[in-house]
Amino acid sequence: MKKLLYFLVSFLIVTSISFAQTKERKPGHTGTSKFRQLKQELPTPNTQHTASGAPGYEYTQQQVDYVMNITIDDETQKLYGDEVITYHNNSKDYLEYLWVQLDQNMRAPDSKTPDVQQTSIAGGSLRRPKTFTKDYLKKPFAGGFNLEYVRDANDKPLSHFINNTMMRINLAKPLAPGATYVFKIKWWYNINNYILDGGRSGYEHFPKDGNNLYVIAQFFPRLAVYDNVDGWQNIQFWGRSEFALEFGNYTVNITVPADHILNATGILQNPKEVLSKEQYKRLQKAKKTFDNPVMIVNQTEAEAAEKGHSKKTKTWKFYAERVRDIGIATSRKFIWDAMAVDINGKTVMAYSLYPKEGNPLWEEHSTRVVANTLKVYSKYTFDYPYHKAISVHARRQGMEYPQICWNFGRPNENGTYSDRVKNGMIGVITHEVGHNFFPMIVNSDERQWTWMDEGLNSFVQIQAETTYDPNISSRGLPKKIVRYMSMDQERLSPIMTQGDHVYNFGPNAYSKPAAGLTMLRNTIMGPELFDYAFRTYSKRWMFKHPTPADFFRTMEDAAAMDLDWFWRGWFYTTDYNDVGIKEVKKYYLTDNPSKTAKTKTQRFSKEINELIYFASEDEIGDPSKAKKLKDFTAINEYLNNLSEVERATMKKVPNYFYEVTFDKPGGLVLPLIVELTFEDGTKERKQYPAEIWSKHDKEVKKTFATEKQITNIVVDPDLETADIDMTNNSWPKKTEGNQFEKFKQKLKN
Ligand SMILES: [Zn+2]
């Protein structure tokens, strides 16, 4: 019933205002509500990618199987390989050609990648020794694939054409739906020293002991994705936007010096051939040890191995099922520890490979972080389906492949390290191991949509790293994206932008989507609803190729929430959130406004006749300026007509009515979170759905009927919504805020 009175009151005031506005006529428009559906932006659903966001009954994807022999020559830092590729055309289409990715060509002397980079003296290329040397002193690195042959199954030369990082295999006749095509490639390339020449893989040279540590990836010609979304995904590899790959089964034999310790994607097929008896025994023990890592190769053994340079070789044989890629790590320097992880009754192995330079940090944390990551991610998505996950120490690297990843985090030479190095290492291992889920298993198109793996992964990373160590301050929280969101608009791109065309890659593809998902979970949907929907998406698209629409649609489909406004604002625009308190008006009921605001606590049943006037204070806190707004005879008459029973159950008349005008200088629509503080210090919080802005995009009024006087109002008190300007979020305005505002103004002038 309190509500009834409140409704009548606001109605009386509002009507008089809207009459005044109808006199002026404005031109018509097409409708730009921020709450309109995303029909124009999202692709039309079909029988492969359905309207619910799930794979449809006609969903297909290609499969590509590889049988490879790889040799890494440690003396010359060259990689030699041959492969037999079996391409399964599971689509309903005839294919005239196949596209093969030649990622190494990005490092070839004729690569176009350096050509599209701006080089300016002031821009710093003279100031950084590495870029200066690379750009002006050194011969270009002789990278890129050298193809020795491309042959068909009968060893006949196969017609092909190389366009930079893509190679078209011209088929003699179109490959029919359901048919399989076998072909062969042999190649070699110079492995880059990634410390000097950059790159996501390559080797680091350790001058003190003369050894190299290899982290090898994109090392073989591999098939591009063909699907009914983009046809062939053959956007060139410019070095930044990552990979789009098909699932398949891999048989890989890797030959390296006999004294190397090696690991790679896949199940090791010949452990007894490549491991010593002692190492094999320790590995069996590790498979049953769930509490602490077991040393398979300890530091003393690794240091001894550093000193020999065996001329003999060893071949490590792997078989990997349902993976989209392969990564290899090999060195004489490797220490190896291992621990079993229980994922809902299934044992998965967590491994770490690191040189002595990684200790003592790595033996302490790496494998434990791997184990924690697998557990937490499994909770938020699905049970980790592979048999192992490996964290490899590689200076300045943070890069992911199925079951294996490279991670930075190196202590000082004397073994000391800062919290920053430690937390950075925990963060990067969590992140890169987490990539097993996105995009290695939920296999989105990285070349096109960086956020689909980096953003989703950075979001789950927050849950995992804070589980490992609650003191870690995660990026990807809404308050941490404020600086980026308030940048010059010309330097911002919507999240839905292909990664090669983005200025601030990190915030755009990692932190902003992660902050958005954090907001979606904690503020907009609530953990229960969000977690169910997020798991649904993850499970639906395990071992498949989801698109952005599949994610957006699934989140709504599994939660019964229209989130189109959120996707539109956060993913399709560069709008920022800024909400403020523009004005607060105080009203009260009184029998005589010329007196004071001394309204007694009244009960309808007794003193209803005293409610005659609705008064307001012009300046809050100054009742002498109160003026009469309305005669309440009509309400009193209405109330007096209620039955005794109805009147007996009514609540107290509120003492005060605060009409608060919230303005929204920012373009985003998000929930409005308001915290009221009362004169006795108690607080009350109210959250309004984003839809509050649907008919009032610039400002909206809310009336709070209270028993106690409000002394303070704050919008978004816990910094949940990435509001870029907090100076207008409080009433009364904070003085520090005003000074900051002046300072900001000064900067603008
Ligand atoms: Zn990443």
Q: pLDDT tens across 606-652, in order?
A: 344 445 556 677 667 676 666 666 666 667 777 778 888 887 777 77
Q: Which residues of 643-678 are buried (b: 16+ CB within 10 A; e: fewer)?
A: eeeebeebeebbbbbbbbebbbebebbbbbbbbbbb
User: What is the Å distance from ligand 1's center to 267 Cα?
Assistant: 24
User: What is the Å distance from ligand 1's center to 54 Cα?
Assistant: 25
User: What is the Å distance from ligand 1's center to 160 Cα?
Assistant: 33
User: What is the Å distance from ligand 1's center to 268 Cα?
Assistant: 26
User: What is the Å distance from ligand 1's center to 505 Cα?
Assistant: 11
User: What is the Å distance from ligand 1's center to 433 Cα?
Assistant: 9
Q: Assign residue 148 a region (left: φ > 0; alpha: ψ between -120 and 50; beta: otherwise).
A: alpha
User: What is the Å distance from ligand 1's center to 569 Cα?
Assistant: 24
Pairwise CA distance, residues 386 & 368, whole Å: 18
Pairwise CA distance, residues 739 & 749, whole Å: 15
User: What is the Å distance from ligand 1's center to 351 Cα?
Assistant: 19
Distances (CA, A) of 450 to 313, 464, 502: 39, 21, 10
Show Cβ contacts of residue 571 under 8 Å, excluding neighbours closer than 6 positions: 451, 494, 495, 496, 513, 516, 548, 552
Which ranges of 308-449 would DSSP assign to H, the alpha helix? 361-380, 419-434
User: What is the Å distance from ligand 1's center to 72 Cα?
Assistant: 27
User: What is the Å distance from ligand 1's center to 451 Cα?
Assistant: 9
The full DSSP string for 456-498 is HHHHHHHHHHHHH-TT---S--GGGGHHHHTS-GGG---SSS-
User: What is the Å distance from ligand 1's center to 545 Cα?
Assistant: 18
Task: Tell me whether residue 345 is exposed, middle or buried, using C-beta atoms within 10 angstroms of its C-beta: 0 to 12, 13 to 18, 19 or more.
Answer: exposed
For residue 677, give both structure tokens: 């503080």
User: What is the Å distance from ligand 1's center to 247 Cα?
Assistant: 19
Query: In terms of Cα–Cα distance, which of 380, 363, 567 is closest to 458?
Result: 380
User: What is the Å distance from ligand 1's center to 686 Cα?
Assistant: 37
For residue 90, give both structure tokens: 């599971």
User: What is the Å distance from ligand 1's center to 239 Cα?
Assistant: 14
User: What is the Å distance from ligand 1's center to 440 Cα?
Assistant: 11
pLDDT at 647: 77
The answer to whether the CB of 671 falls within 8 A of the CB of 688 is: yes
User: What is the Å distance from ligand 1's center to 82 Cα?
Assistant: 29
Pairwise CA distance, residues 712 & 709, whole Å: 9
User: What is the Å distance from ligand 1's center to 432 Cα?
Assistant: 6
User: What is the Å distance from ligand 1's center to 576 Cα?
Assistant: 24
User: What is the Å distance from ligand 1's center to 148 Cα?
Assistant: 33
Tokens 């107290």 — which residue? 652
Pairwise CA distance, residues 631 & 608, whole Å: 14
| pLDDT lower than 70: segments of the chain | 1-23, 123-127, 590-615, 618-619, 621, 623-634, 735-749
Determine which helix (DSSP H) or strand (DSSP E) holds 13, and give its type and residue range: helix 2-21
User: What is the Å distance from ligand 1's center to 722 Cα?
Assistant: 22
User: What is the Å distance from ligand 1's center to 528 Cα?
Assistant: 26
User: What is the Å distance from ligand 1's center to 242 Cα?
Assistant: 10
User: What is the Å distance from ligand 1's center to 581 Cα?
Assistant: 39
User: What is the Å distance from ligand 1's center to 230 Cα?
Assistant: 23
User: What is the Å distance from ligand 1's center to 428 Cα?
Assistant: 8
User: What is the Å distance from ligand 1's center to 435 Cα?
Assistant: 6
User: What is the Å distance from ligand 1's center to 274 Cα?
Assistant: 32
User: What is the Å distance from ligand 1's center to 233 Cα?
Assistant: 20
Determine which helix (DSSP H) or strand (DSSP E) holds 285, and give its type and residue range: helix 277-286
User: What is the Å distance from ligand 1's center to 456 Cα?
Assistant: 10
User: What is the Å distance from ligand 1's center to 402 Cα?
Assistant: 13
User: What is the Å distance from ligand 1's center to 522 Cα?
Assistant: 23
User: What is the Å distance from ligand 1's center to 534 Cα?
Assistant: 19
According to DSSP, the β-strands at 248-257 and 63-73 are parallel
User: What is the Å distance from ligand 1's center to 194 Cα?
Assistant: 18
Which ranges of 561-718 would DSSP assign to H, the alpha helix? 564-566, 572, 604-607, 633-640, 644-648
User: What is the Å distance from ligand 1's center to 306 Cα?
Assistant: 31
User: What is the Å distance from ligand 1's center to 86 Cα?
Assistant: 29
User: What is the Å distance from ligand 1's center to 399 Cα?
Assistant: 7
Strand blocks (E) in 591-643: 613-617, 627-631
User: What is the Å distance from ligand 1's center to 632 Cα?
Assistant: 64
User: What is the Å distance from ligand 1's center to 9 Cα?
Assistant: 55
User: What is the Å distance from ligand 1's center to 547 Cα?
Assistant: 18
User: What is the Å distance from ligand 1's center to 365 Cα?
Assistant: 20
pLDDT at 168: 98
For residue 626, give both structure tokens: 């109160």
Show Cβ contacts of residue 250 under 8 Å, excluding neighbours closer than 6 positions: 65, 66, 67, 68, 265, 266, 318, 319, 320, 323, 326
Largest Cα–Cα distance of the chain, in whole Å? 104
User: What is the Å distance from ligand 1's center to 406 Cα?
Assistant: 11
pLDDT at 715: 98
Show Cβ contacts of residue 29 under 8 Å, excluding neighbours closer than 6 positions: none
User: What is the Å distance from ligand 1's center to 489 Cα?
Assistant: 25
Show Cβ contacts of residue 559 under 8 Å, excluding neighbours closer than 6 positions: 525, 529, 530, 532, 533
Pairwise CA distance, residues 731 & 658, whole Å: 12
User: What is the Å distance from ligand 1's center to 431 Cα?
Assistant: 6
User: What is the Å distance from ligand 1's center to 400 Cα?
Assistant: 7
Put simply, whether the predicted model's pTM sits higher than 0.75 gets the answer: yes
User: What is the Å distance from ligand 1's center to 397 Cα?
Assistant: 11
Query: In terms of Cα–Cα distance, which of 467, 410, 422, 436 is closest to 350?
Result: 436
User: What is the Å distance from ligand 1's center to 317 Cα?
Assistant: 28
User: What is the Å distance from ligand 1's center to 140 Cα?
Assistant: 28
